Amino acid sequence: MSKTAPKGIFAEMTQDRVVTLTIIVAALGYFVDVFDLLLFNILRVPSLKDLGVPDEKLLEEGVFLLNAQMAGLLAGGFLWGIAGDKLGRLSVLFGSIVLYSAGSIANAYITSVDQYALIRFLTGIGLAGELGVGVTLASELLPKRSRGLGTTVIASIGVLGATFAGVLVNYVTWRHAYLIGGLMGFALLLLRIGVKESGMFKRVLEQGEKVVRGNMLMFFQNWDLFRRYMAVLMIGAPLWCTVGIFITLTPEFAKDLGMADPLPTAANAVMYCYIGIALGDVLSGLMSQWLQSRRKSIFVSLVMLTVATVLYTQLGGSSPTIYYWLCFFMGLGAGYWAMFVQVGAEQFGTNLRATAATSVPNVARGVTIPVTLAFRALIPALGITGSGIAVFAGVMACAFAGLWLMKETFHDDLDYVEQRKKK
């Protein structure tokens, strides 16, 4: 079989106005999602200092707030995923954008760390619904040979939201940055008016109670479903370990690696990392089309991320310039996010697809909580860099194990439903 993309595949993606609009809306929605999500990573130090947090408490309070945000993402992943399978994909696209846009605007007016934590939790719930349901809808509208490229477009444009955030914070205050994120989100509601519901979902809906939709318990009642779910989840953990620890805590790592002032900033580290992730998403998607395999494409990315992280721990203290280049290469390796979300949608039937595709990336994001807790717990014994290496090694081992367990879905037809119990 030829390993080149079929002729006319890009035209196939754009010939249908509804499909084109869906991809555009999902991509821009994810752009705003990533913009808001990464704002805290960028604004952690200046915002906490402005709220009166002393320097010696910045790491502790920062991890607390990051975990509050990730807890919201975790809760929202299940909430919106179940809603997407029970009520429809469009209900989630509208509901999630309203909640995270309102939360982002509220972030501009906080006056204490406790308020900050509450708003980041609520905003996290809203942010959880955007990507998974957007990819689910696009995957169900596109033919199987081009759905991977559709997700690549969505994710590669979306992650540039972090780059935009990294640039914007150099020109506005942290409060204005959150305000801009919320206003961009509400502006997206106008574009969503023309998006149509998935035909696959409508056919399942017509079957009424004959098909169980959005039942999270089915993942625990059926061993095959549970194995598929856990395999995909393990694959996504390294990305958020990389961003949540090495990139977010840039000042602490740069200092521990031996770099003198001026230290690299989290804003620039996020910007360079996400430029790499955006490019990595494109390369991963194209590689998947060329190899006609999701698994092989993700394997290459995981190897790249491992090599880049080893170099980061060995050379990251050389200079700010080398540090930022290493952030870029780590992002390039972590740029399998598009394929990760894609396989999250492709592994499951229409009646559970939104539940899986929305919850899996957010559970992967939620892995940041135990990862950061383990990171902090290991610092007294291993130091900052040693602790980061130990935690990364653990999640990377899980990722390769998950990839080995995951089935290949490049050629799979998605128009089917999952049964409550395996026969």
**199 belongs to a structural domain:** no
**262 belongs to a structural domain:** yes
**419 belongs to a structural domain:** no
pLDDT score recorded for residue 383: 92
* Residue-number span of the structural domain to which 131 is assigned: 13-191+216-405
**150 belongs to a structural domain:** yes
Number of H helices, E strands in the chain: 19, 0
Q: What is the DSSP letter of 242?
A: I
pLDDT score recorded for residue 421: 57
Torsional class of 135: left (φ above 0), alpha (ψ -120 to 50), beta (otherwise): alpha
**209 belongs to a structural domain:** no
**202 belongs to a structural domain:** no
DSSP-based helix, strand, coil % in the chain, nearest 5: 80, 0, 20
Residue 81: φ, ψ to 5° = -65, -45
pLDDT score recorded for residue 393: 94
pLDDT along the chain (423 residues), means of 10: 45 62 84 84 87 88 85 89 88 86 93 93 89 83 80 81 85 93 87 76 81 86 90 88 87 88 83 88 88 93 95 88 94 89 88 89 81 90 93 94 91 82 48
**6 belongs to a structural domain:** no
pLDDT score recorded for residue 16: 63
Q: Please count the structural domains in the chain.
A: 1
- In this structure, are residues 392 and 241 in contact, taking their beta carbons and an 8 Å threshold? yes
**64 belongs to a structural domain:** yes
Residue 18: CA atoms inside 13 Å, Cβ hemisphere, count? 11
Torsional class of 254: left (φ above 0), alpha (ψ -120 to 50), beta (otherwise): alpha
Which of 338, 5, 282 is closest to 139 using CA atoms?
338
Which ranges of 242-367 would DSSP assign to H, the alpha helix? 250-256, 266-291, 294-315, 320-333, 337-346, 353-366
CATH assignment of the domain containing 42: 1.20.1250.20
